Structure 1
Amino acid sequence: MKYMLLVCGDDTADASAMAPVEPWVEELGDRSVRLHGHRLALPSEAVTVRVRGGEVLRTDGPFAETKEYVAGFDVLECDSLEEAVEAAAKHPVATIGAMEVRPFWPMWDEEDAETAVRRLDVELTEAARERDVERMLACYAPDVEVFHLTTGQEQRGIDAFRKAVEGVFATVTGPVTREVLDFRVHVDESIAFGHALVRMRATRADGEPLDDTVRVTTGYRNIGLRWVIVHEHVSATVEAENGKERS
C-alpha cells in the first residue's frame, strides 16, 4: 500500500546536528520502499490561491502562519502502516520536526496504472484497424513528441503528428493490423515507459502488401484522470521473414 510521508520542519529548531537525509533516501530506495519524493521551497515562497464569488484571490505566503511547515514529501510503498511509521521514524527530520504518515485514498474501485497503460495500447490497436485518426490521437498528449521511421522526421505537437498519421493512412487501403508481439511496461507513479515489438500489416494503395515489424519505445504520463502518450520513438525495423534487423 502507498503512503504519503509529509516531512514537517520547524523553523525554530536547531538543525545543525541533524544527520544528512541522503543515506535514508538511498537505503529506502534500494529496498524499493521509497518510490518518489522531493524537498520543497520555504513557506515564504508559497502562493495561496482561493476562489470566492468567481474571483481568484492570490496571497503570497503559506495558507497558515505557523512555525511548523511541510518541508518535503516522500511516497512510500509499504506492507503495513507500522512499516511506514518505522520508515518515517528513521528520517533525520523526525529528530527536530515531525513526520505525518498518511495512506493514499483506497484504489479498490480504480484501475491500476499498468492495466491502464496496457489498455491504452489496445486502444491504439483498435484505432489503427479502423484507420480512425481522431481515436488514435486521443491516446496522445497535446505536446507529444513522436519519431517514426516512416517519415524519417520528428513530429512535435499533436497537429504535426496528425498530419503524419493521415499521411501514413493515405498510403494504405482497408484495415491496418497492429499486432503487439512483446510489450514490457514499467510504471512509476505518474510516469511510465513501455518497450514493444509491433508488427504492422496492411495493403498499400498500389496493391502491394505492407508487413513491417518495428521496435517502439513509449513514454506515458498520468494527467490526473487518464494516461496519455507523451513520447514515442519507432526504432530499427526488423525483417519479418528472418528476424534480422535492418541497418
Structure 2
Amino acid sequence: MKYMLLVCGDDTNDASGMAPVEPWVEELGDRGVRLHGHRLALPADAVTVRVRGGEVLRTDGPFAETKEYVAGFDILECDSLEEAVEAAAKHPVATIGAMEVRPFWEDEDAEGRIRRLDAELAEAARTGDADRTLACYAQDAQVVENGRLHQGGEALRKFFAETAPITREVLEFRVHVDESIAFGHALIRTGGKLLRVTTGYRDVGPRWLIVHEHVTEATS
C-alpha cells in the first residue's frame, strides 16, 4: 500500500546537528520502499488559492501561519502502517520536526483502470464509434501507425473514422505503471493483421488517457 510522508519542518528548531537525509533516501530507495519524493520551497514562496463566489482569491504565503510547515514529501510503498511509521521515524527531520504519515485513498489500482480503458477502446472500435474511441486519448495525443503520424483531436478523429469499425482482439497485454505515467505493450489481432502496439498513458486525475501509441505489423 502507498503512503504519503509529509516532512514537516520547524523553523524554531536548530537543524545544524541533524543527520544528512541522503543515506535515508538511498536505503529506502534500494529496498523499494521509497518510490518518489522531493524537497519543497519555503512557505514564503507558496501561493494559497481559494475560490469564493466564482472569484479566484490568491494569497501569497502558506494556508496557515504556523511554526511547522511542509518542507518536502516522500511516497512510500509499505506492507502496513507500522512499516511506514518505522520508515518515517528514521527520517532525520523527525528529530527536529514532525512526519505525517497518511495512506493513499483506496481505489482501483492503476493497472486495473488502464486495463478497463483498453477494454473501452476495444468496444469503441468494434462499434465504430470514433467519438468514443477519441475519448480514450488525451487532446494532444499522437498515434504512429506504420510510420504515419496522426496527432491531435481532429487528425485522430479522422483516422478512427476511416479505420472503424474493427474487431480488436488482444492476445497479449503487459502494463508497467510508474506514478502518473504508464506504458503498455500489446499483441493485437485486428482486421486480419497482427499488430504490436506500444502505448504511453498519463494519469489525468479521475482516469488514465493515452498520450502516445506506436503501432507496427508484427513480423512473427
Do both proteins adopt the same fold according to a TM-score greater than 0.5, normalized to the shorter chain?
Answer: yes
Partner Cα separation in structure 2 for residue 136 and residue 185 of structure 1: 20
AA aligned opposite 2:131:
E
Matched residue, 1:206 = none
Matched residue, 1:166 = 161
Matched residue, 1:131 = 128
AA aligned opposite 1:200:
T
* Cα distance, 1:133 vs structure 2: 0.6
Matched residue, 2:177 = 187
AA aligned opposite 2:127:
E
2:219 pairs with 1:229: no
| Paired-residue identity, % | 75
Matched residue, 1:118 = 115
| Gaps in structure 1 of 5+ consecutive residues | 170-174, 202-210
The verdict on how the C-alpha distance between 1:16 and 1:213 changes in structure 2, with shifts beyond 3 A counting, is farther
AA aligned opposite 1:191:
I
The verdict on how the C-alpha distance between 1:20 and 1:147 changes in structure 2, with shifts beyond 3 A counting, is farther
Identify the range of structure 1 (216-225 vs 156-165) with the bigger mean alpha-carbon deviation. 156-165
* Cα distance, 1:64 vs structure 2: 1.4
2:56 pairs with 1:56: yes
Matched residue, 2:200 = 219
AA aligned opposite 2:153:
I
Q: Secondary structure at the match of 1:176?
A: coil
Partner Cα separation in structure 1 for residue 181 and residue 120 of structure 2: 19
1:152-181 per-residue CA deviation (whole Å, 9 max, x = no partner) reads 333332222222223334xxxxx4121111
AA aligned opposite 1:183:
F
Matched residue, 1:153 = 148
Partner Cα separation in structure 2 for residue 148 and residue 113 of structure 1: 26
**TM-score using structure 2 length:** 0.91
Aligned counterpart for 2:167 among listed residues 155, 166, 177: 177
AA aligned opposite 2:23:
P
AA aligned opposite 2:115:
R
* Cα distance, 1:135 vs structure 2: 1.0
Q: Secondary structure at the match of 1:19?
A: coil
* Cα distance, 1:232 vs structure 2: 1.4
Q: How many residues are aligned here? A: 220
Partner Cα separation in structure 2 for residue 37 and residue 159 of structure 1: 38
2:186 pairs with 1:196: yes
The verdict on how the C-alpha distance between 1:8 and 1:177 changes in structure 2, with shifts beyond 3 A counting, is same
Matched residue, 2:6 = 6
Matched residue, 1:38 = 38
* Cα distance, 1:23 vs structure 2: 2.5
Q: Secondary structure at the match of 1:50?
A: strand
Matched residue, 1:207 = none
Partner Cα separation in structure 1 for residue 36 and residue 213 of structure 2: 24
Q: Secondary structure at the match of 2:63?
A: coil
* Cα distance, 1:229 vs structure 2: 1.1
* Cα distance, 1:102 vs structure 2: 1.5
Q: What's the C-alpha RMSD, in Å, of the aligned pairs?
A: 1.8
1:160-203 per-residue CA deviation (whole Å, 9 max, x = no partner) reads 2222223334xxxxx412111111011233322111111212xx
